[in-house]
Amino acid sequence: MPLANTSFTEKAWRLSPMYLLYFTLFGVFVPYIARFLTVNGLTEQEASTIIAVVNGVNVFAPFLFSVAADRSGRRLFYIRLGYVGMGVFYLLALAGSGFWYYLTVFGLFGIFLSAVLPQMEAITLAILGRERSRYGQIRFWGSLGFVVVVWSLGFLLETYSVSILPIAGGVLSLLMFLSTFLIPEQKKSALPAVSKVETGPSTLQMDRPQIAILLAVIFCWQIGMAPYNTFFDLFLRLQGFSTTSIGFLISFGAICEIFIFIYISRLFNHFSERHLMSFALLVTVLRWLIMARFADSFVIVLLLQSLHALTFGLVHSVAVHRIAHLFPANKASLGQGMYVAFGSGAGLFVGNLLAGWLWQGTGFIYLQAAMWSLLALLLTWFGFKDKHPIGIGDTSQ
């Protein structure tokens, strides 16, 4: 029996390990890459350049696999290829040193890291089919893995050297590769049938204006997220927070994010994508405005971190859900690739450049983040068109 025709429980236990391990690896890399590079002799400026390149490859990397995967239908093959590339290039970080060496190694690592995610999202949504509104219950395992590894490595790095990071990355890449064998390969001819109710036939005409509006919203939203991703740690240090408190606050935000992934299917059954996205972006505007003014209060920052469930978790879930029915089945990987390219690629790249240029050690960078989030909100409210209630066809509880 095809996996798409099995129970949600069967789908979940086969798909969840892939997300758990991928975002655990994400947690090994993203929070600690700067520490790894500076401990190995690079300056902060050199480290930031390498990190910018890793973000920048998201503009084109998702499409490296997407076109081939959509044409062949062999998405799992490209996922496995990407996992091997990630493990090899992360481990190679132990084999050399210097700015140009690390730029090459981590740039190539970033390409594979970015290229596999759209394939993961496309195959997951294809398998979920009519139950795609329960995507968050699969994705939340990724957030759980991220939280656990960030906390664990924080303690381990007090005792062990940063060399454990590439070793952990290599081991996780191997486990990710093995986890894909829990998922049967989807034949190309079967893809339209699996997604027929949800996305229509593979020849369905795409609604290009709605796709353009969604990508513009994602772009503006990620520009607003960039100061949080890049300068949150430094900003809170200037407010007098300890390193331990900052680590707790970052992890707390990710923990709150998990809950939205668990309950997102219920929201999809009662509210339209337009209303959910608009509400989440309104909260995002308020979050950055308050952060700019009251970041010296631990209690207020803690409350603001709880909003990460909405300002990231809900926005991400709605975006992935919307892409799933704006793109026909035979272009599913392209759709997810465009999400990564416009968001994690172009959005974060531009956002990080703006935040760096505007950085003064004050809350001004969060004021401009609120401005970009407001623009995303206006585009959503006046631009999104919902053709039918989200709950139609869903079988989630």
Q: Return the pLDDT at 204.
A: 54
Q: What angle do CA 335, 336, 340 make, to 5 degrees?
A: 120
The C-alpha torsion from 260 through 263 and 268 to 269, rounded to 10°, is -160
State the pLDDT at residue 289: 97
Q: What is the mean pLDDT of residues 202-225?
A: 86
Q: Give pLDDT, residue 394.
A: 40
Mean pLDDT (whole number) for 157-173: 90
**Which range is least confidently modeled, 162-166, 308-312, 313-317, 349-353?**
349-353
In 3D, which of 175, 190, 185, 84 has the Cα closest to residue 129? Answer: 190
Structure confidence at residue 342 (pLDDT): 85
Say yes or no to pLDDT of 197 above 80: no
pLDDT tens readout for residues 266-298: 888 889 999 999 999 999 999 999 999 999 999
pLDDT confidence of 242, banded at 50, 70, 90? confident
Distance CA 316, CA 318 (A): 6
In this prediction, residue 215 carries a pLDDT of 94
Q: What is the mean pLDDT of residues 225-231?
A: 82
Q: What percent of the chain has pLDDT over 70?
A: 90
Single-letter amino acid, residue 210: Q
Predicted confidence at residue 362, as pLDDT, reads 87
Mean pLDDT of the chain: 83
Residue 212 has pLDDT above 90, yes or no: yes
Contact 274/384 with Cβ under 8 angstroms?
Answer: yes
Provide the pLDDT for residue 223.
93
pLDDT of residue 219: 95
Look at 171-175, 187-191, 227-231 and tell me which has the smallest mean pLDDT. 187-191
Residues 44-93 have pLDDT tens digits of 668 777 877 887 888 887 777 777 777 777 788 889 999 999 999 999 99
% residues pLDDT > 90 (the chain): 37
**Long-range contacts of residues 304-310, Cβ cutoff 8 Å, at least 24 apart:** 305/249, 305/250, 305/252, 305/253, 305/256, 306/252, 306/253, 306/256, 307/256, 307/283, 308/253, 308/254, 308/256, 308/257, 309/256, 309/257, 309/258, 309/259, 309/260, 310/260, 310/279, 310/280, 310/283, 310/284
pLDDT value of residue 134: 82
Q: Can you give the pLDDT at residue 295?
A: 92
Taking the C-alpha atoms of residue 168 and residue 166, their distance in angstroms, rounded to an integer, is 5
Write down the pTM of the prediction: 0.72
Q: Which of 31, 16, 55, 23 is nearest to 172 (CA)?
A: 23
pLDDT digits (tens, 9 = 90+) for 83-136: 999 999 999 999 999 999 999 999 999 889 888 888 888 888 888 887 877 887
